Structure 1
Amino acid sequence: MTWQDTINTAADRISGHIVKTPVLRSDAFGHVVDLKLEQTQHTGSFKTRGAFNTLLASDVPEAGVVAASGGNHGAAVAFAAQRLGHRAKIFVPEIAGPAKIALIERTGAHLTVVPGEYANALELAEREASESGAMQIHAYDAPLTVAGQGTLMREWEEQGLEADTVLIAVGGGGLIAGALAWLGDRRKVVAVEPMTSCALHSALEAGAPVDVAVSGVAANALGARRIGGICFDLAKAAGTDCVLVSDGTIIEAQQALWQAHRQLVEPAGATALAALMSGVYKPEPGERVAVLVCGGNIAPDPTIV
């Protein structure tokens, strides 16, 4: 079964459980660009796609599900579990932030906030799954997760995407892996990472996934210590370009999305746009560019609005 077959199956499976998110063409950022506003998805991120695909395709044990997350994946798993009638235990690092923590709490899931970063939450989630018999749902490095995230790019093409190049922010790699798996070589995909959380860039330089230090304004969503193996293999095979952006340019893109289109997004959600606005990614003459806006879990902040 090919990746495209798997993603088609996932799309059929999760239909009726997710939002078909809107698209927007804009000339407000220095280039004409197509935006996919995935921050309007249930729980504010694309993660809901992978969560529903995994739960609907699996025999969930009586003990329920366990997930470690920087925040968005945990919220998505908690939401999907609530909708489908399963217990959920979610582990997030303290850097997840109040908006994401509150979102998970509203689902009724059992939430544990862990000192440290995502890797620390993952360690505790793995221990809990082992001891309780609950099913662990990995945030990005699992075939069902990747297939679920791949439905986003499938949906975007169905909506008439005309771009030659798609810019996608990368944390652990589930989202861009899904895009690469669906698109094959039909369009160019550019990975965008913060300079201070760049697991894919470091892996491609090293020739294999490696541990990286994690910090910065987008660390609670893009702060994976090591890129997922599925993502690495797909990115390496595709010869994926990877560009790095500063925290300052991420914040500028975040502010620009609000000022131009009243789209309030978290730093991770603006990271791909930061590459275009800052000139880190420079389109060729006539090149049609699209940007995936992927996360909106942030409390309103007067420095943005």
Structure 2
Amino acid sequence: MHQLTYGDIKAATDRIAGRVRPITLSPLDPGAIRTAHRDPLDEREPEPEPCEVWLALEYMQHTGSFKARGAQNFIQAHRDAGTLPDVGVTIASGGNAGLACAWAAQQQSIPATVFVPTTAPAVKVAKLRSYGADVRLVGAEYAEALAACEDFASTTGALASHAYDHPLIAAGAGTLLEEIRTRIPGLDTVVVAVGGGGLFAGVATAAQHHGVRVVAVEPENCRALNAAVEAGRLVDVTVDSITADSLGARRASAMALHAAQQDGVHSVLVSDSEIVRTRQALWDHRKVAVEHGAAAALAALTESAHVPDRDLPTRPAAPSRGYRPGNGEKVAVVLCGANTDPSQLVHPAAD
């Protein structure tokens, strides 16, 4: 297995420069997120200082998600190496990685064949076709689409990409952290949602180099990375969450597990109900329409308001619920995708 390095992130940053949209950041209102508990009987503790929380609006990226970074890095690296076959690329994806692959292939004028589970949202399938991809619906879960994709690659010679488990894909995603740090001097923590772990592995690799804490957020019933950290090895998990279309990997990548076992990483869980509530709040207060998977990251900070205060160990022995920033902590929360049907959001009645 290729161990992702900071050098991989730097190479990807240079490779995709000017080919993707730079990150946009938006601060939350001061006091919007509760900070860690202060003991009122301990006079040595300073008065609470509001944390500083920024939303990293990566849903504004090409194709509506961070996946464009990895896809661009993957295809451009093969273009530079002269290893792009005429038959093009192929990928299995719940939607977003396929969109990014199809877009990047279109940029390079090569064919893309995308294998998608039959459960993928219609909005993503339609968008895939708009990028000129040959879309093939196979199976009810990602694993079935992946098997069909691998068979296609072996019989046609197409270059097989991956939704998350490839060093070029993860390194491309990691370029996010490089941009965020440039924009937020003194960044303490970055919060990311985790599916198979491509975004997390890339961001965590860059974050470790810079001494930035990483909070890896998963739905409680869709916890491939959290279960792997708990077991100390990769394991298969049941996928039963409203976020399944984007975070529904049954098994995390080895790169992600390796990154999660490093210092400065917190693995936390959130409930589907809090994800739904947070997604709706983003719409109500900011008119931001993101996927449930994207809302999961911010839900970690809001769910922490409903659980008892406690210290979070670096590697929790049992699943932790949410994340509570410390006093004055500078936090960036990655809103990673917006390929969703906005009609699902509740439109409150006018006053």
Q: Distance between the aligned counterparts of 1:168 and 1:248, measured in 2?
A: 18
Q: Is the 8 A contact 2:22 2:179 kept in 1?
A: yes
Residues of 2 paired with 1:113 and 1:11: CA distance?
33
Within the candidate set 233, 257, 280, 2:282 is matched to 257
Task: Give the CA deviation at 1:108.
Answer: 0.9
Kept in 1: contact 2:242–2:272 (CA 8 A): yes
Query: Which residue of the other structure, out of 119, 123, 126, is the alignment partner of 1:99?
Result: 123
Q: 2:53 aligns with which of 15, 30, 33?
A: 33
Q: How far, CA to CA, are the matches of 1:181 and 1:154 in structure 2?
A: 11
In structure 2, distance between residues paired with 1:276 and 1:229: 27
Cα deviation for residue 239 of structure 1 reads 5.7
- Once residues 114 and 211 of structure 1 are traced to their aligned partners in structure 2, the CA distance between those partners, rounded to angstroms, is 20
Matched, 1:75 2:75: no
Alpha-carbon deviations, 1:180-223, whole Å to 9, x = none? 11121511101100111100000011110101111211001000
TM-score using structure 2 length: 0.84
Q: Cα distance 1:206–1:56, how it changes in 2: closer, same or farther (>3 A)? A: same
Code of the aligned partner of 2:345: T
Q: Equivalents in 2 of 1:194, 1:224: separation in Å?
A: 12
The 1:162/1:258 distance shift into structure 2, 3 A limit, reads farther
Instruction: Return the letter of the residue paired with 1:91.
Output: F
Separation in 2, partners of 1:166, 1:239 = 11
* Change in CA separation of 1:233 and 1:282 when aligned onto 2, cut-off 3 Å: same
2:224 to 199, 213, 218: 199
- Which string of whole-angstrom CA distances, capped at 9 and with x for unpartnered residues, describes residues 9-33 of structure 1? 2111111211112101112743541
Deviations 1:241-285 (A, max 9, x none): 111111110011111111221111010110010011111212223
User: Which AA in structure 2 matches 1:30?
Assistant: I
Unaligned runs of 5+ residues in structure 1 are none
Q: Rate the CA distance shift 1:92–1:50 in 2: closer, same or farther, 3 A.
A: same
**Preserved CA contact (<8 Å) 2:225 2:257:** yes
1:63 to 83, 87, 90: 87
2:337 to 295, 300, 303: 295
CA contact (8 A) 1:192 1:244 kept: yes
CA apart distance, 1:115: 2.4
Number of residue pairs matched by the alignment: 305
More displaced 10-residue stretch of structure 1: 294-303 or 45-54: 294-303
Q: Return the alpha-carbon distance in structure 2 between the equivalents of residues 184 and 226 of structure 1.
A: 23
Which residue of the partner structure matches residue 146 of structure 1? Answer: 170
- Name the counterpart of 2:108: 84
RMSD (CA atoms): 1.6
Deviation at 1:5, TM superposition (A): 2.2
Mapped to 1, the partners of 2:267 and 2:331 lie a distance apart of 15
Comparing 78-87 with 252-261, which one deviates more in the overlay? 252-261
Shift of 1:57: 0.5
One-letter amino acid matched to 1:4: Y
**Distance in 2, Cα, partners of 1:127 & 1:238:** 38
Matches within 5 A, 1:260-271: 260-271=285-296
| Range with greater deviation from structure 2 (33-42 or 273-282) | 273-282
- Report the Cα distance in structure 1 between the residues aligned to 2:229 and 2:288, rounded to whole angstroms: 32
State the partner residue of 1:167.
191
Q: Distance in 2 between matches of 1:101 and 1:130?
A: 24
SS of the residue corresponding to residue 57 of structure 1 reads: helix
Is 1:231 the counterpart of 2:290? The answer is: no
| Alignment counterpart, residue 53 of structure 1, candidates 60, 69, 73 | 73
Matched, 1:14 2:16: yes
- What's the % identity of the aligned pairs? 44
Q: What amino acid does structure 1 have at the position aligned with 2:22?
A: K
92-101 or 3-12, larger mean C-alpha shift:
3-12
Determine helix, strand or coil for the equivalent of 2:262.
helix
Change (3 A) 1:254 1:69: same
- 1:103 counterpart letter in structure 2: K
Q: Cα 1:12–1:210, aligned 2, differ >3 Å: closer, same or farther?
A: same
**Secondary structure of residue in 2 paired with 1:74:** helix
Q: Name 1:44's counterpart in structure 2.
A: 64
Further displaced range: 28-37 or 12-21: 28-37
CA distance in 1, matches of 2:247, 2:137: 18
Pair 1:184 & 2:239 matched: no
Moved over 4 A (4+): none
**Amino acid of the residue matched to residue 286 of structure 1?**
G
Instruction: Please state how far the C-alpha of 1:290 moved relative to its aligned partner.
Output: 1.9
Q: Is the 2:4–2:167 contact (alpha carbons within 8 Å) kept by the matching residues of 1?
A: no
Give the structure 2 partner of residue 283 of structure 1: 325
Structure 1 or 2, whichever has the larger Rg, is 2
Tell me which amino acid in the other structure corresponds to 1:171: G
The 3 A distance-change label for structure 1 pair 161 and 104 is farther
What is residue 4 of structure 1 aligned with on the other side? 6
CA contact (8 A) 1:34 1:163 kept: no
